[in-house]
Structure formats: structure tokens, C-alpha cells
A and B are shown apart, each in its own frame.
Chain A
Amino acid sequence: GAGVSQSPRYKVAKRGQDVALRCDPISGHVSLFWYQQALGQGPEFLTYFQNEAQLDKSGLPSDRFFAERPEGSVSTLKIQRTQQEDSAVYLCASSVREGGYEQYFGPGTRLTVT
């Protein structure tokens, strides 16, 4: 079946621009996670949704980062006034369960801020 999809796969932004990254989770998955992966590192948690409720946003690095999942399916991660340190791969994961078990990842969006 279809896995987690993300778009765009690659995004180049000039410093100061706003970007929006989209995640389509596996159909029926209630939990959705965003992670940030820097080059050569493991993914780091950003935020977690259970259906449309954002239950944990403790990993968002600044108030320039905002995520939403208004109807409990598709999610968007928005970064305002991008900075060079935002350059990374942004990964989305979903799970049919609550609580973080069995998370399946999408291919990621590589963001490069110039």
C-alpha cells in the first residue's frame, strides 16, 4: 500500500523566505510526527499530532516553526523567515497507534537555505 509521502522532495529558499512542507500520512494513521535530520546525524523530534491535536511541540527550535494538521490527516510544517541553520532534511512519520509505537517514515524534504 501507499506509504508516507512528502512534498516537495527538495526545496531551496533564500534566507528570510517562508516555506511550507507537506506530509501525507498513511491512510488511517492517527499519530503524525515531524523530525529534523541534520547531515550525518539521527533524526531529532520536532512535534507530534494525535489526530488534529498537537500534543507535543517541545522539539520546535523557535517560534519561526509552526505545524498544523487541521483535519487529522495531511500535515504542514511551516518555517518563517528561514535561516541557514534551518537547512536539513525534514522527515514526517505516521503510526496507526497512539503513543509513538511503530512509526513509519516518509522520504523527507531536503531544505537548503542560501
Chain B
Amino acid sequence: KAGVTQTPRYLIKTRGQQVTLSCSPISGHRSVSWYQQTPGQGLQFLFEYFSETQRNKGNFPGRFSGRQFSNSRSEMNVSTLELGDSALYLCASSLAASISSYNEQFFGPGTRLTVL
């Protein structure tokens, strides 16, 4: 079974630009979560989508948005990029059979975003 894939793997943008990152979950997984990883901050939760609906949202500004398609693929968008947005963006998928079940998350390799 193919793992979680993320594209692109590396991205360089300049301040003020916007960026879209893509995530394809493991086949059959309906939940997709996005995280930002920066040195010293660990993995900061951005949002989680389940069946095309955002179920949870972390404490990030509105410049960060996402969506999920009917095939469970997800995209994350960051508008008006700032230098501090430089980070590794990780996507994780899980089976999420029900809204309140424990689900192990499987992570993709991440997209390394550099904002100049």
C-alpha cells in the first residue's frame, strides 16, 4: 500500500507570495491533518479534515487555509508569505473510522518551504 505523498518536496518563495501544498493520503484514509515543524517548536497542528470538512483547527492565522477533496486528497494554502513561515510542512493521514476513535497517524515526508 502506498504511503502518504506530499508535493512538492521543496519550495522556495519570496515574502508576499502565496503557496499551495498538496497531500495524498493512504488509500482508504479519510482524515488528513497538517502540521508545521520548525526548530525548537516541534510539530504545531494546523488543521484536520475529514470527509471534506475541517474538523479541527490549530492556532494559526487566517493566512493558512486548507481543503479536502472527495478523494481525500488535501491541499494547504498559505497566502502573503512571511519569513517566519519557513518550515517543514507535514501531512498525516489516518483511517478515522469514526469521529471519536483513536487513530494512528501516518506521515508523509513533508514539504520544505523556504521564504526569502
Interaction A to B = no
Interface residues of B (CB under 8 A from A): none
